[in-house]
Structure 1
Amino acid sequence: MKNNVLIVGASGGIASALIEQYSSEGARVFAVSRAPLSDTNHSGDVTYHQLAEQDDRHISEFVEQLAEQQVVLTTVVITTGFLHRESDGIHPEKRLEDVSEQALAAYFSTNSIIPAMWLKHLVNIMSKEGSTLVCLSARVGSISDNGLGGWYGYRASKAALNMLVKTASVEYKRRLKDVMLVCYHPGTVDTGLSKPFQKNVAAKKLFTPEFTAKQLIHHLSALNRDQSCHFIDWNGEVVTW
């Protein structure tokens, strides 16, 4: 069976590296982005789709289109997420007084709700013969591994994402049998998301998107598929929930 791969959030650096990696390995790749894509020069079989609105209705319509084309997905990586947004003046909070309704709503909308809508609809077109669904998460979304505080909205929205994936894995396993869901902490990657926060990161801990993509694909092949859900980092180490 041909590896049909869906990459959501295709305009991002990690997503672009994943598209290149999977397509170079012979997979058929469907790349979805809200913004127009400037880099569409990937090798191999790649189809680009612009979904200007990633809400319940538009995601449902897109998945139905794939179903009508009899597309059965073997691998999905959902890379949508944001940490700061200059246009809205949203930055990670340093103290309680920085918490705002606007920022919290934005964090949860992008980091939690959009992936949840994809989880909702993708269950209908995932392969029953060994499929994998990954959401890019973050170590700061671990509730048990939070000793520093701060970053309220980002932490909480990623913790919510982890819970959504963990909960969905129970139903996915019941409906698809041989399926595995993964929350993946990519580390600090040299992309726009981490740009304002790179000055305190050691050079050897600032990863290229290409390195992160290769690490993810490598670790996915080694994970125990009998376990329905995993939370791992770029090095394949378990991150506590």
Structure 2
Amino acid sequence: MENALVIGASGGIGSAICAALNGRGVSVTGLSRSVDGLDTTDEQSVAHALGRLDTPFDLIFVATGALEIDGHAPEKSLDAVTARGLADQFALNAIGPALVLKHARRLIPRDRPATVAVLSARVGSIGDNGLGGWYAYRAAKAGLNQLVHGAAIELGRRYRKLCVVCLHPGTVATRFTADYQDRHPTVPPEKAARNLLAVIDGLTPADTGRFLDYAGKEIPW
């Protein structure tokens, strides 16, 4: 791997991925909202940011997302579901990565293996949902999984050496999960990055379209 593009590079996982790749000697291009003004919920912003790039990337890693948006916490019941909360979650956690995939296609090399990895979450699994609740976040991540899986099929027809996957990082000790870390075992961002890159290292085009956790294990849709 020579070149990597990290979307969401200023976040906990994104910055750790950048650091780990830099440590390997990989040339990393990082984009984020806080540093570069990239707003993945605005297609014009996505098109502008990615349109300035012309280097083919061996890895495109999408690390954007949020569990709480504008103070709207994960819902414990239907009574807490709001149209705004649902729309905001879909805009950031599903539509945003889809727009990145749309405008990053031209940055995928066709003459060598490449990977597009998008951060998802186990709670986006419909088959693994035994607790309910968290309606907006679960639904947005399930939507993301469908969008990425569909993109993997389409892109695979043109980019024969490409692998497109959804990855669950586990519960990572970042600001993103600060209010929920007492409920699940957590790992620091640096370890999460190593785990995710280890999974990516083992991928081949035959793995495209899969939903995997940080240990490379399949997660049901």
- Within 1, Cα distance between the matches of 2:209 and 2:156? 9
Runs of 4+ in 1 over 4 A off after TM superposition: none
Q: Alignment identity in percent?
A: 38
Gaps of 5+ in 1: 37-49
SS at match of 1:144: coil
Structure 1 counterpart of 2:15, one-letter code: S
- Contact conserved, 2:38 with 2:46, CA < 8 A, in 1? no
Which residue identity is paired with 1:189? V
Q: Which residue of 2 aligns with 1:143?
A: 126
Per-residue deviation, 1:52? 4.1
Deviations, residues 67-96 of structure 1 (Å, cap 9, x unaligned):
2xxx111101101111113xx220000000
- Equivalent-residue separation in structure 2 for 1:219 and 1:159 (angstroms): 21
Q: Distance in 1 between matches of 2:167 and 2:82?
A: 27
Aligned to 1:104: 86
Q: Deviations over 1:190-216 (max 9, x none)?
A: 001111011122xxx210101110011
Rounded Cα–Cα distance in structure 2 between residues aligned with 1:15 and 1:227: 23
Q: Distance in 2 between matches of 1:66 and 1:52?
A: 13
What TM-score results when the alignment is normalised by the length of structure 2? 0.95
Q: Could you tell me which residue of structure 2 aligns to residue 40 of structure 1?
A: none
CA contact (8 A) 2:160 2:205 kept: no
Q: Name the structure, 1 or 2, with higher relative contact order (CA <8 Å, separation 6+).
A: 2
One-letter amino acid of the counterpart of residue 29, structure 2? F
TM-score, normalisation: structure 1: 0.88
Q: Which residue of 1 aligns with 2:37?
A: 51
Correspondence for 2:211 = 231
- The residue number in structure 1 matching 2:13 is 14
Q: Return the alpha-carbon distance in structure 1 between the equivalents of residues 214 and 6 of structure 2.
A: 18
1:86-97 equivalence runs, <5 A: 88-97=70-79
Mark the runs of 5 or more structure 2 residues left unpaired by the alignment: none
Look up the equivalent residue of 1:60 and give its one-letter code: A
* Structure ranking higher in strand proportion: 1
Q: How big is the alpha-carbon RMSD for the aligned residues of Structure 1 and Structure 2?
A: 1.2
Retained in 1: the 8 A contact 2:163–2:203? Answer: no
Partner of 1:207: 187
Asked if 1:83 corresponds to 2:63, the answer is no
Q: Judging changes above 3 Å, is the alpha-carbon distance between structure 1 residues 169 and 52 closer, same or farther for their aligned structure 2 residues? A: closer
Give 1:118's aligned residue.
Answer: 100
1: CA distance, partners of 2:25 / 2:183: 38
Structure 1: distance between partners of 2:4 and 2:52: 15
Residue matched to 1:28 = 27
In structure 2, how many angstroms separate the alpha carbons of the residues matched to 1:237 and 1:226?
A: 15
Contact persistence 2:67–2:137 (CA under 8 A): yes
SS in 1 for 2:206: coil
Q: Which has the larger radius of gyration?
A: 1
Note the alpha carbon deviations across 1:166-225, whole angstroms, 9 max, x for none: 000011111111100111101100001111011122xxx210101110011111122342
